[in-house]
Structure 1
Amino acid sequence: MLPVKEIADSLGITEDHLNYYGKYTAKLSLALLEAPPQPPRGKLVLVTAITPTSHGEGKTVVSIGLAQAITRRGRKSIVTLREPSLGPVFGVKGGATGGGRSRVLPSEQINLHFNGDIHAVTSAHNLLAAAIDSHIHHGNALRIDVDNIWWPRTIDMNDRALRHIVVGLGGKANGVPRESRFVITAASELMAILALASSRQDLRRRLNDIVIGLNVDGGIVRAGDIGATGGLLVLLNEAVMPNLVQTTEHTPAFVHAGPFANIAHGTSSVISQKIALNLADYVVNEAGFGADLGAEKYFDLVMPACGIRPACAVLIATVRALVHQGSSPADAAGANPAALRRGLPHLARHIENLRKFNVPVIVAINRFPGDREEELRTIGSFCRDRGVACAAIDVFEQGGAGALELADQVMAAADGVDLGQVRPLYDRELTLEQKIGLVAREIYGADGIHFESAARRKLAMFAAAGFGHLPVCMAKTPSSLSDNPALRNVPSGWTLTVSDAFLAAGAGFIVVLAGTVLLMPGLPRVSQASRMDVDDDGNIIGLG
């Protein structure tokens, strides 16, 4: 690793814009947002994927490798990534800093407690929860309805026992008994707010606008009404500043904010993207899970909120994921050319979906150990037959050198795009039900939508309260295009079930739950935590 000052120097960032967190990481001053070049210097490249397997298909490693490849071509590049959540780190996936020769460093620090950002979000979220219960305990001047408090508590860990709780037990001194719940910090509205805020002033506005529930007359109660905004800002004062680190090839990386893509909007902070676009020719930005989740939410939620239009989309495909989509659960693991060919319509569906946003699409075939040349050629021929540029890459083993062809294709597409033609799927003027219907039919391929009664009542209430113009943030399984994780490939003849909805007024969207989706995951039978340890010299073992 190089000292972070040298990484900052490569971008022309001066000392007075750096707040050092040790030798290898620093926070960036928000003054870097001031006086941006017009038009912005850089172009944003959105990296997404086909529906992933449970271990992921390499969006982070490809994003890093692509940024490194662009740098090798002599152009200035920055990769913008989300901060890892401790839930997945100790759950199924493990670390989230890339791998091999395409990682962000210092990886252990980034995976664990990185500069305190996620802890700050957790603390701020729980401060607001505590302020609500304290307000009720001390007389409830706002007449908050204890049966209609929508603000949960949060923790950055997978813990299924906290999904449904009762607080206030033990007598009057301990508060008013009521039901509540925990969500994982990555699903907290505060995490979404941190990621979507464009400045400290915008952060204040969004925090003030958080709707915590209803009063006994059915009126909206906001965080600003109970005087919590200032305290939340204090806790988030440094967390709102992006983190500067480096890749294994010393390409600058901004790692900031960490909303999940299956239950939130799934991309790094708007502030980090805007600063990066001021400083680099190309900004490689990851969007979580498959293109039906992270990419759709970028175009329909993030882009309208911040004005950043992606210049092209990189769609990652792997042999492993396509074989999975083309297989039945009874098929044996391993090479399966027939299953690969049966899975190709799944790739075609994601390409078709991305084209609906009028953005150039390039397929990156991420090569895994054991992939055979004929399998890679099958995918490449399929893409070329449909007029889609594609490149086989190996950034894990080769770093940026393994994605030079992809970098050339990305830069050519981004330089030739008419950004004015890039558009969201739907207009804000549509009803909430119409927006849900468009995403369900156009992106997921649903034949119909069923609204459970509780969800329908909430959507009607949100619209009546003046929030019908907000976009919808669909929370569904990442394991299928549908809302059923068991349905593979391109499901047909199915109906999307809308089971619940939550208002995230500060973030600026309505969270819509489809099927059975959990805002608080649980640990698996054998978690990554069981594989980790620390040796006698303090070195961490098993944190991938």
Structure 2
Amino acid sequence: MMSDIEVARSVTMKPISEVASRLGIPDEALNNYGKHIAKVDNAYLATLADKPKGKLVLVTAITPTPAGEGKTTTTVGLGDALNRIGKRAAICLREPSLGPCFGVKGGAAGGGWAQVVPMEAINLHFTGDFHAITSAHNLLAAMIDNHIYWGNDLGIDTRRVAWRRAIDMNDRSLRQITSSLGGVSNGFAREDGFDITVASEVMAVFCLAKDYTDLEARLAKIVVAETRDRKPVTAGDIGAAPAMTVLLKDALAPNLVQTLEGNPAFVHGGPFANIAHGCNSVSATQAALRLADVVVTEAGFGADLGAEKFFDIKCRKAGLEPDAAVIVATIRALKMHGGIGKADLSKENVAAVEEGFANLARHIENVAKFGVPSVVCINKFVTDTDAEIETVIRLCKEQAGVDAVLCTHWADGSKGTEELARKVEAILDAPRATPFTTLYPDDMPLLKKVETIAKELYRASAVSADAKVRKQLADYEAAGFGHVPVCIAKTQSSFSADPNAKNAPTGHVLPIREVRLSAGAEFVIVICGDIMTMPGLPKVPSALHIRLDANGEIEGLS
């Protein structure tokens, strides 16, 4: 059996101009990064603004487990299968972060015969977008400290500098640091820290910005500190937004690559869904919708995180109305939610599948609350038995009222997802039964928005927030930010804030530890439980297995 990287290398990629031509993109609109990667010029994309939009399909999943789900793989397989049945389809994915690539999760280019390529480039430096975002973030940090050093005309209270630094790597030692040590010439010593780049507000702004003007305006609104009398200081006050925009100029153009079957794929932006909003860029999605009949995109982790933020943040801000959703599940993951340990997942256990189905059922219910029709993809593993598969298909129909389709795209490419594509096609062609809706209105108070998500989607009984958090939320509302959505940062491993609470817990309390205003991205981050905005490496990181062989080929990247 070939590894993912061996499969990717076995395929002859098409010139990127040929891939672009399938969407009608002319050569002059491409800025090529070698033979197989290109950025699509934003000036060209602006000319498409009046074209009708295609249909939008979201791929989401059940609550993740160590057994794996395969959301990105399914996105690729479905996009290929839609092209296979005659649709002009494109996919939209997030760019992988170096943190998980060298940590525990691995790459994010799909797997088996459902991948985007060139996978090594996509998983590593790609077109440099993340480096540009990191540089823009840290330019702002440097300009804040420089302003303080040269007289602090804005009166920034150095105890209330909220803007941390960023790096696209898991490094727990940087979570909390003391900066500017070493004497008078190095500035004023203060507490500081790093977030991973995918949690940066610059990443969120980058993914939500419509164009250069919008990008600079959003960057200027980022709140970086407070004065001694608690007045906000913004990146615009510091004067950093124009230079930050310059650093992001080339990055803002969407990246075009291809699937193993030569179909177009936009891979652009990459906020995590457990600590950020978990969706690819608005610019890439809007471009794809103007160029393709059907666009398949994914949002990180389960429907309680990525899908909720896709609907409540991205769709709200970009005016998108998704037409269908695919919820990915595996027999292995359902058995884990049903109480089976990883070592026993290869053994048939229909009872555990039935027990774990509660998790899938809740995700189906949650997606329906947004008015989006869905179909379940059972991503097949070789150890799945007919009885287990038939149980999921039956329960989906009898208890949740949706179809479930067995898919083998990892092994068979688009052929293994053709039935799913036809189910999605049927949903797209049918009259819309319910309109798309967000979970809460703009004018709902911030804490009430958190409570709505916690009770409606997580099935929590309450939200706990101490007086400091409640005052901070009240201050945000008083400052004019009460209308913005909330972005919940919590563990991806459970509906609750406890990663060990598997399946479908109810009656738990969602503990708010901290809140942060992302004024440029226009949402409030609500940090719950023990979730960290700077992950650490595991005991045995993937980096220990990644190397060059004697021929200069990369080994160990998946």
TM over 0.5: yes
Contact 2:332 2:345 in 1 (8 A): no
Separation of aligned partners in 2, 1:328 and 1:458:
42
Pairs within 5 Å for 1:55-134: 56-134=68-146
Separation of aligned partners in 1, 2:282 and 2:480:
25
Contact 2:31 2:40 in 1 (8 A): yes
Q: Label 1:39 to 1:361 Cα distance change in 2 as closer, same or farther (>3 A).
A: farther
Q: Tell me the amino acid that sits aligned with residue 448 of structure 1.
A: A
Separation of aligned partners in 1, 2:466 and 2:221:
28
**Could you tell me which residue of structure 2 aligns to residue 260 of structure 1?**
272
Contact 2:224 2:233 in 1 (8 A): yes
Q: CA deviation at 1:401?
A: 0.5
**Could you tell me which residue of structure 1 aligns to residue 526 of structure 2?**
512
Separation of aligned partners in 1, 2:389 and 2:554:
36
Contact 2:68 2:330 in 1 (8 A): no
Pairs within 5 Å for 1:273-422: 273-327=285-339, 332-335=344-347, 336-385=349-398, 386-418=400-432, 421-422=435-436
Contact 1:25 1:243 in 2 (8 A): yes
Contact 1:310 1:419 in 2 (8 A): no
Q: Would you say 1:439 and 2:453 are equivalent positions?
A: yes
Q: Would you say 1:458 and 2:450 are equivalent positions?
A: no
Separation of aligned partners in 1, 2:218 and 2:66:
34
**Could you tell me which residue of structure 1 aligns to residue 169 of structure 2?**
157
Separation of aligned partners in 2, 1:390 and 1:512:
34
Q: Tell me the amino acid that sits aligned with residue 121 of structure 1.
A: I
Q: Tell me the amino acid that sits aligned with residue 454 of structure 1.
A: K
Residues 128-182 of structure 1: CA distance to partner in whole angstroms, max 9, x if unpaired? Answer: 0000000000000000111111111000000000111111111111111111110
Q: CA deviation at 1:366?
A: 0.6
Residues 308-364 of structure 1: CA distance to partner in whole angstroms, max 9, x if unpaired? Answer: 111001100111111111106698443232211110111111111110001101111
Q: CA deviation at 1:384?
A: 1.2
Contact 2:195 2:534 in 1 (8 A): yes
Separation of aligned partners in 2, 1:318 and 1:329:
15
The secondary structure found in structure 1 opposite 2:289 is: helix
Q: CA deviation at 1:120?
A: 0.4
Residues 208-253 of structure 1: CA distance to partner in whole angstroms, max 9, x if unpaired? Answer: 1111121122111110111101110111011101100000000100
The secondary structure found in structure 2 opposite 1:233 is: helix
Separation of aligned partners in 2, 1:225 and 1:133:
13
Pairs within 5 Å for 1:195-210: 195-210=207-222
Separation of aligned partners in 2, 1:6 and 1:330:
44
Separation of aligned partners in 1, 2:103 and 2:436:
37
Separation of aligned partners in 2, 1:456 and 1:379:
43
How many residue pairs align between the two structures?
544
Q: Would you say 1:136 and 2:171 are equivalent positions?
A: no
Q: Label 1:238 to 1:56 Cα distance change in 2 as closer, same or farther (>3 A).
A: farther
Q: CA deviation at 1:207?
A: 0.7
Q: CA deviation at 1:54?
A: 3.3
TM score, norm. by length of structure 1: 0.98
**Could you tell me which residue of structure 2 aligns to residue 14 of structure 1?**
26
**Could you tell me which residue of structure 2 aligns to residue 54 of structure 1?**
66
Q: Tell me the amino acid that sits aligned with residue 244 of structure 1.
A: L
TM score, norm. by length of structure 2: 0.95
Q: CA deviation at 1:421?
A: 1.0
The secondary structure found in structure 2 opposite 1:114 is: coil
Separation of aligned partners in 2, 1:524 and 1:205:
38
Residues 261-281 of structure 1: CA distance to partner in whole angstroms, max 9, x if unpaired? Answer: 000110110000000001111
Separation of aligned partners in 1, 2:390 and 2:95:
35
